[in-house]
Chain A
Amino acid sequence: EAGVTQFPSHSVIEKGQTVTLRCDPISGHDNLYWYRRVMGKEIKFLLHFVKESKQDESGMPNNRFLAERTGGTYSTLKVQPAELEDSGVYFCASSQVPGATNEKLFFGSGTQLSVL
């Protein structure tokens, strides 16, 4: 069974450009999460999809970030326009069930975004 897939694995862009990150969850997983780790800091929650609906987007930094999950399958996270402080590793995770006790949460290997 394939795991959570993210691409690209690395992206280097200039300030002001647009970047789109993609996450393919494990098949059948209704719950999809985005997290971000800015260098040297903690991994922070960005948002949570249940199927195609945004369940919780309280962690989204600002309106330059747009997450979508059309059809409830893969998800994209677009940053437009990118700023220097957006650099970091963006992780995606998926699970069949939600909840703070969820031990069946599977993470992708992340997208390293560098904004120059």
Chain B
Amino acid sequence: AQSVTQPDIHITVSEGASLELRCNYSYGATPYLFWYVQSPGQGLQLLLKYFSGDTLVQGIKGFEAEFKRSQSSFNLRKPSVHWSDAAEYFCAVGFTDKLIFGTGTRLQVFP
């Protein structure tokens, strides 16, 4: 069955530090992969997606993610975190006409 695992429930980083949020998926075919972010009081916003081609994808707000088929991973990275990045991040895989999400990682940023 299709599933997405985000092993880190909560991550705390200092502003300016680098960030990596982990995501592993289970899917039988070539996956369509997404990262969404939810800031307080806001809806889910698409950060980036991978469908095919270059395995390193760039997104909005300076985020990038790398698809590694051999590891079934799609980790999200940012070289330097800003206080406004504090939010909850969701990895998802597209399946038929729906999204299958992970449990989310809450990011806290200290000044």
Q: Which of B64-72, B76-84, B95-103 has 4 or more CB atoms under 8 Å from chain A? A: B95-103
Distance in Å: Cβ of B28 to nearest Cβ of chain A: 13
In-complex Cβ contact of B51 among A35, A55, A93, A101 (8 A): A101
Contact of A45 among B4, B36, B98 (CB under 8 A): B98
Q: Give the contact-size bracket for chain B.
A: 20 to 34
A residues 94-111 with Cβ under 8 Å of B? 98-103, 105-110
Cα A112 to Cα B4 with chains together (Å): 23
Smallest Cβ-Cβ distance to B51: which chain A residue: A101
A42 CA to B92 CA, complexed, in Å: 10
Q: Secondary structure at chain B's binding surface: helix, strand, loop or mixed?
A: strand
Contact between B101 and A42 (Cβ–Cβ < 8 Å)?
Answer: yes
- If the complex has contacts A33-B98, A48-B97, A101-B32, are A42 and B43 also in contact, measured as CB distance less than 8 A? no
Q: Interface residues of A: mostly helix, strand, loop or mixed?
A: loop
A91 within 8 A of B: yes
Q: Is the CB of B43 within 8 A of A48?
A: no
A40 CB–B CB distance under 8 Å: yes
Of the candidates B32, B97, B101, the one whose C-beta lies within 8 Å of that of A43 is: B101
Contact B46 A100 (CB under 8 A): no
CA distance A106 to B90 in the complex (A): 15
Q: Is the pair B43, A45 in contact by a Cβ cutoff of 8 Å?
A: no
Q: Mark A21-45, 1 if CB is under 8 A from B, else 0.
A: 0000000000101010000111111
- In the complex, the answer to whether A103 meets B43 with C-beta atoms within 8 Å is no
Could you tell me which B residues sit within 8 Å of A by CB distance? 4, 9, 32, 34, 36, 41-46, 49, 51, 90, 92, 94-104
